[in-house]
Amino acid sequence: MRERLLAAEKIKAIEWRDGTLHLLDQRLLPLEETWRAYDSAVEVAGAIRDMVVRGAPAIGISAAYGVVLGARQRLAAGGDWRAALEEDFRALAGSRPTAVNLFWALDRMRERLARLKEGEDVLAALEAEALGIHESDREANLTMAQLGVELIRKHSGNPQALLTHCNAGALATGGFGTALGVIRAAWLEGLVERVYADETRPWLQGARLTAWELVEEGVPVSLNVDGAAAHLMKTKGVSWVIVGADRITADGDVANKIGTYQLAVVAMHHGVRFMVVAPSSTIDMSLQSGEEIPIEERDGRELLEIGGKRVAASVEAVNPVFDVTPADLIDAIVTERGVVERPNAAKMAELMSRKRLH
């Protein structure tokens, strides 16, 4: 299957060329495909904060390249470049609070700095580390796609209706995608009848990004408002809800795009299986439960306005952009280290003791 997956890779959101980070501006999709170039860590932090790039793995990869750009500027400026680089680490760390991949990638880059040998080329070492993070995520995507397909096939070998939320595809990662990677692989294996994509308010990642990716791949997809998910589970024979994650805790609780929690509740009611697909870099074993995950709240204008024009009544808005799905609502967590079914603290600890499968 791996060769078929590699042949199907068409979409990407991150490129590192000639010492410059290039990001596909996901705010403009699907109407406009615009790539933007970044030469500094501060610019990369802004791109993450403003959602030019989004999706937990893609955020982490971009931050790693941001460290390279920051180091280049600090070295060129002279003086205590290590102390100055700490400002860039802080700017990148402060760009988004919920996605743990961001902090995992920054820790990887900081650890590489700590291992520098006397006389070693600083920029070459940091660039190699960032490229390694990027390639590792791509490989993890391929492994997770295969494991997710095996899980789907285990329960039924017939074409099935699947439902997904937000965007956890190639645009959100360094490669094939997490949740959408499993869906794309299942389509290649003849296991998908139709995909239902929640529009995912308020940024419409499902409508703009997931639907666009699936159309580009020729996968049959229908778009639905978020509130239609329960009706679709009841009437369209949906067999799996498949989503990504921004942080997973030691007991298997999952933070993902707002609306995921209610999907899991509705899925359990209708007997629909619920799969979370994420690399192990998304698992934060320092947090015991989802109650400890910081939940980002964004500007209420994202709800009150469309295209800068107010459409809502004169009212305040509450705009949490993530929620936490308890482990007892999750059938399986798929990572590049393996699959955990019915996750709990003991199973998550055992998973993290394993080596990556690729």
Residue 222 CA to residue 162 CA, distance in Å, equals 10
Residue 209 DSSP one-character state: I
In percent, the amount of the chain with pLDDT more than 90 equals: 92
Neighbours of 76 (CB within 10 A): 8
Q: In this predicted structure, what is the pLDDT of residue 8?
A: 65
Residue type, 329: L
| Mean pLDDT across the chain | 95
257 is in an annotated binding site: yes
Residue 60: CB atoms within 10 Å? 28
What is the mean predicted confidence (pLDDT) over 123-152? 96
10 alpha-carbon distance from chain centroid: 18
Residue 3 one-letter amino acid: E
pLDDT digits (tens, 9 = 90+) for 8-25: 677 899 999 999 999 999
Pick the closest to residue 60 from 244, 281, 294, 285 (CA basis). 281
State the pLDDT at residue 48. Answer: 97
Tell me what pLDDT residue 10 has. Answer: 79
- 256 is annotated as contributing to ligand binding: yes
Q: What is the pLDDT of residue 73?
A: 96
Distance CA 97, CA 207 (A): 24
- Domain residue spans of the chain: 1-135, 156-352
Q: Which residues are catalytic?
A: 246
84 annotated as belonging to a binding site for a ligand? no
Per the listing, tokens 């778009």 go with 223
| Distances, alpha carbon 195 to alpha carbons 31, 184, 186, 266, 333, in Å | 22, 10, 11, 17, 20
Question: In terms of Cα–Cα distance, which of 103, 8, 13, 99 is closest to 56?
Answer: 99
- 1-135 belongs to which homologous superfamily? translation initiation factor eif-2b, domain 1 (1.20.120.420)
Q: Which run of H or of E encompasses 217?
A: helix 211-217
CATH topology identical between 1-135 and 156-352: no
The string of pLDDT tens digits covering residues 158-206 is 999 999 999 999 999 998 899 999 999 999 999 999 999 999 999 999 9
For residues 229 and 241, give the distance between their C-alpha atoms in angstroms, rounded to a whole number.
Answer: 10
Give per-residue pLDDT as tens, 57-84. Answer: 999 999 999 999 999 999 999 899 999 9
Alpha carbon distance 152, 273 (integer Å) = 10
Strands of the sheet containing 35-38, edge to edge, are 14-17, 20-24, 35-38
Q: What is the pLDDT of residue 355?
A: 83
Task: Tell me: pLDDT of 1 over 80.
Answer: no
Quickly name the fold that domain 156-352 has. Rossmann fold (3.40.50)
Q: What is the pLDDT of residue 98?
A: 84
| 295-304 pLDDT per residue, tens | 999 999 999 9
The string of pLDDT tens digits covering residues 209-227 is 999 999 999 999 999 999 9
Confidence of residue 99 (pLDDT cuts 50, 70, 90): confident
Question: Does the annotation flag 327 for ligand binding?
Answer: no
What is the Cα 130 distance to its own chain's centre?
A: 17
Cα–Cα distance, 194 to 219 (Å, whole number): 8
| 3-state class (DSSP) for residue 20 | strand
Question: One-letter amino acid identity for 10?
Answer: K
pLDDT at position 358, please?
64
Is the model's pLDDT at 4 over the cut of 90?
no
